[in-house]
Amino acid sequence: MADFAKLARMNAPKPASFLAAEKAAFRYLEKSNPRTSNLDFLTYGVYELSGPVRSGALAHPSEESLLFCWKGAVAVTVNDQNYSLETYDVLYLPRGAAYSLEQSGGESKVIVCRAPAEKSHPVFHARWKEMSKDEKRIRHLKGKDVILMFDVGEPADKLIAGYTLFRPHQRSYPPHNHTDQEEIYIFTQGRGSMEVYADEESKCFVRSVNEGDAVTIPLLNYHPVFSQEEELHFIWCIAGNRYWVGDKNKDFMTGKVDKLTT
């Protein structure tokens, strides 16, 4: 009570705020976490911003995170440093970093993927306009391109991530699985289909996928994707040992095998 009395003496009265039902808003939708999926590390959610809005302080005390600007443009403040995220930009947040999201108006969506981490690493801002034109970051495969937005050259405990852009009527080949990486695909543009299976006999996960859908990929599952009549874009985010399959196994790049394991 003493503190409130002191404030009342020091400050003039301030007006109240009316928060209409349709007022600009910020919210977080958690889509998947280790309790609701067969993944051990990855949590996936979406921040939605509507109108002129700024979030409160956010932090993940035991996790490192990646923010993917899916739609719109958002300003992110991390430990008092400011970063401007445009469409498809990616921002790495170290374990426990305090951050907030802000926009002046419009509608934005920011995807967040998180995984447990023991160490704290530097913030890293990957700008789509730069990365998508840097041949050192691009892997050209038949019918598609992979852009390594957060690669092994950037320090982290578990996370790596990027975008894959399929041209129309293409498929993932050869199918591959991982012994030491779990993964999530988050579809950001177009429509297609996806299979997830441990072996051909058990292939029961065959789904159509559309913009906004996501698929979790536990260890030892093959996970081919098929595009349809338009471009199909998706985020791939990995938690585990840090490598991209095509950099570790060149057969993935040449397509000279029917399937492979990393």
pLDDT tens-digit map of 33-80: 999 999 999 999 999 999 999 999 999 999 999 999 999 999 999 989
Residues near 223 by beta carbon (within 8 Å), at least 6 away in sequence: 172, 175, 176, 177, 183, 185, 194, 195, 196, 215, 217
Could you tell me what percent of the chain has a pLDDT over 70?
96
Q: Do 128-261 and 25-118 fall under one CATH topology?
A: yes
| Residue reference for tokens 């998947």 | 32
Tell the residue number behind the tokens 């447990």, with chain if given: 116
Residue 225 is predicted with a pLDDT of 97
Q: What would the mean pLDDT of 149-173 be, rounded to a whole number?
A: 97
Would you state the pLDDT for residue 7? 58
Q: Domain 128-261 belongs to what architecture?
A: Sandwich (2.60)
Summary mean pLDDT of the chain: 93
Q: How far apart are CA 148 and CA 161, in angstroms?
A: 6
Average pLDDT over residues 244-260: 82
Question: 50-62: string of b/e by CB count within 10 Å (b at 16+)?
Answer: beebebeebebee
Helix, strand, coil distribution of the chain in percent, nearest 5? 10, 45, 45
Nearest residue to 238 (alpha-carbon basis) of 141, 142, 164, 166 = 164
Residue 10: pLDDT band with limits 50, 70, 90: low
The structural domains of the chain, with segments of one domain joined by +, span: 25-118, 128-261
**Where residue 23 falls among pLDDT bands split at 50, 70, 90?**
confident
Band the pLDDT of 4: cuts 50, 70, 90: low
| Host H or E run for residue 205 | strand 205-210
R_g of the chain, CA atoms, integer Å: 21
The answer to whether domain 25-118 has CATH 2.60.120.10 is yes
246 or 35, greater pLDDT: 35
pLDDT attached to residue 125 = 98
Q: Residues 170-217: pLDDT tens digits? A: 999 888 999 999 999 999 999 999 999 999 888 899 999 999 999 999
Phi, psi of 226 (to 5 degrees): -130, 125
